[in-house]
Amino acid sequence: MMKKRKNWIWIVGSSLLCLVGIGLILSPYVRNQAINQKAKTLRVTKQTKRQLQKNALEKPATFDFQEVKPVTNRAVLESYQNPPQNLSQIGGIAIPDLRIHLAILKGLSNENLLYGAGTMSEDQVMGQGNYALASHSLFGTWGAEHTLFTPLHRAQKGMTVYLTDLDKIYQYQIVSVKEVTSEHTEVLNEVAGKKLLTLITCTDLNATKRIVVQGELVAISDYNNNKDKIFQ
């Protein structure tokens, strides 16, 4: 009896996986939903401060933006079937006006950028210098407008962006939104006397241009005093 039950569970589980796989292959909408569901499981509220600090210090990372590949249905399907084991959450980002709530992950690996925002350099620190993050935009499909950094296409000056490492919440106000070509790496430079946040995503499938959203630090507060208002 127990053996039959196990066989039944295996058959049902395999069938569901096949159905999800077919959906991912045939439907970009299903792909987008799969990304969003996985992204929710990685949110900073699912982590501990100790684990974030450990990831920041110990997890290896790559920072080569040129090696980043576009999001494809196949990549999402492979990730769904073989979930990555070494995603390195080090914080979270929230932009309430754009409904962005993502994990911040260490580095620019394709796995990181498939489900969150990746840091663009090894030594960047929240609330200091120019803290730069990148993630994907998705195009031309229903549901894409709420996925990863796609909402940055609607960013406006004056909007508030929050970062957290589960110790502090760093509040930035957006001061510029612009399109640049890929060679304009000066947007990642530090600016004397300013504490900046730079968010980068592509403008099209061919990544011919980037949207660059920059904000300036306006406040720092304790995470435990404000978490329920921002990171839920």
CA within 13 Å, CB half, 192: 0
Architecture field, domain 2-230: Beta Barrel (2.40)
Residues 50-93: pLDDT tens digits?
A: 999 999 998 889 888 778 787 777 777 676 666 666 689 999 99
Report the distance separating Cα 118 and Cα 132, nearest Å: 8
User: What residues are annotated to the active site?
Assistant: 136, 202
Please state, in angstroms and as integers, the Cα–Cα distance from residue 203 to each residue in 100, 139, 167, 184, 229, following that order: 17, 9, 33, 14, 31
Q: What is the rounded average pLDDT of the residues 25-53?
A: 83
Q: What is the pLDDT of residue 78?
A: 72
Domain-wise residue ranges, the chain? 2-230
- How many CB atoms within 10 Å of residue 229? 11
Task: Report the alpha-carbon distance of residue 128 to residue 173 in Å, rounded.
Answer: 15
Mean pLDDT across 131-147 = 84
* Beta partners for residue 177, in sequence order: 213
| C-alpha radius of gyration, the chain, whole number | 19
Question: What is the spatial distance between Cα 152 and Cα 211, in angstroms, rounded to a whole number?
Answer: 8
Task: Give the C-alpha separation, 9 to 157, whole Å.
Answer: 52
197 phi and psi, to 5 degrees? -125, 130
- Tell me which amino acid residue 130 is: N
CB neighbours of residue 222 within 10 Å: 10
Beta bridge partners of 221: 169
Q: Is the pLDDT of residue 207 over 80?
A: no
Strands 160-164 and 209-222: unpaired
Higher pLDDT, 227 or 128: 128
Each residue's pLDDT tens digit, 117-133 = 999 999 999 999 999 99
In the chain, the DSSP E strands lie at 89-95, 100-105, 117-119, 130-134, 160-164, 168-181, 196-202, 209-222
Confidence category of residue 21, pLDDT binned at 50, 70, 90: very low
